C-alpha cells in the first residue's frame, strides 16, 4: 500500500520568484566572497563577515518556500513529517503503535484568529502533530479520514472546555448528504 500524504496548502505562486530572488542574492554574495578571499587569518575573518548576510537572505528565501507534509504508512504504523524547501525534503520515519484517538482543536494565533490542529494521540499521553489549517472543515475532514483508516475515535476539541467524542456514523451520513458545516 502506498503511503498517504497529508500536506499543507501549497505556497502562493507569487512567493516563488521572491524566494528565488533571495536565494540568488545569497549565491552572488557567496561567489563574491569566494572570489575576494585571501588565505590569511585576516582574510578569513573578512570572508566570514561577508558571509553573514547570507544567513539572513537564505532564511527569508526558506520562509517563502517552506511547507510541511506528513507521510503516513498505516500498514507499517509509520509516520514521517517532512519539511519541504522546493525539491528538498527533510524528515525521517517514526514508528507509532498503540493509537488511541485523533483530536481536532483550535489554537489562538496573533490577531485573534485561530488555527485548527489535528493530532494523533498514542501511548496514553503522547501526541503526533499531523496537520494545521485555518479552515475548520478541512482540518476536521483530515482528522475524520485518519480516524477511519486507523479505526479509532475522533475527539472534537474545537470548543474550549467542551470536548466531545464525534459520532462517526452521523458524520458518514452528513458526508453522504454533503451537509458538513
Instruction: Give residue-wise pLDDT tens across range 86-130.
Output: 888 898 888 888 888 889 888 878 877 788 888 888 888 888 888
For residue 66, pLDDT beyond 80: yes
pLDDT score, position 113? 79
pLDDT tier at 1 (50, 70, 90 boundaries)? very low
Mean pLDDT, the chain, whole residue set: 84
What is residue 163's predicted lDDT score, i.e. its pLDDT?
A: 86
**Residue 27's pLDDT is what?**
95
**Where do the structural domains in the chain lie, given as residue ranges?**
1-74, 96-177
What's the pLDDT score for residue 118?
87
Sign of CA dihedral 49, 50, 56, 59: negative
- pLDDT tier at 8 (50, 70, 90 boundaries)? low
Provide mean pLDDT across the span 14-40.
92
In this predicted model, what pLDDT tens digit does every residue of 135-150 receive, in sequence order?
888 888 888 888 888 8
* Cβ atoms of residues 85 and 59 within 8 Å: no
pTM over 0.85: no
How large a percentage of the chain has pLDDT more than 90? 18
Amino acid at each position: 500500500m502506498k503511503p498517504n500524504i497529508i500536506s499543507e496548502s501549497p505556497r502562493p505562486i507569487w512567493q516563488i520568484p521572491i524566494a528565488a530572488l533571495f536565494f540568488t542574492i545569497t549565491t552572488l554574495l557567496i561567489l563574491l566572497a569566494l572570489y575576494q578571499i585571501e588565505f590569511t587569518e585576516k582574510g578569513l575573518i573578512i570572508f566570514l563577515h561577508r558571509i553573514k548576510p547570507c544567513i539572513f537572505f537564505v532564511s527569508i528565501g526558506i520562509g517563502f518556500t517552506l511547507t510541511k507534509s506528513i507521510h503516513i504508512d498505516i500498514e507499517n504504523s509509520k509516520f514521517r513529517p517532512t519539511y519541504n524547501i522546493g525539491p528538498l525534503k527533510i524528515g525521517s520515519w517514526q514508528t507509532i503503535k498503540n493509537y488511541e484517538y485523533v483530536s481536532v482543536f483550535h489554537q489562538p494565533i496573533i490577531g485573534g484568529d485561530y488555527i485548527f490542529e489535528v493530532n494523533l494521540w498514542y501511548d496514553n499521553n503522547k501526541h503526533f502533530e499531523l496537520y494545521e489549517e485555518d479552515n475548520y472543515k478541512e482540518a476536521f475532514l483530515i482528522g475524520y479520514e485518519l480516524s477511519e483508516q486507523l479505526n479509532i475515535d475522533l475527539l472534537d476539541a474545537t470548543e474550549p472546555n467542551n470536548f466531545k467524542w464525534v459520532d462517526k456514523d452521523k458524520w458518514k451520513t452528513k458526508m453522504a448528504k454533503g451537509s458538513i458545516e
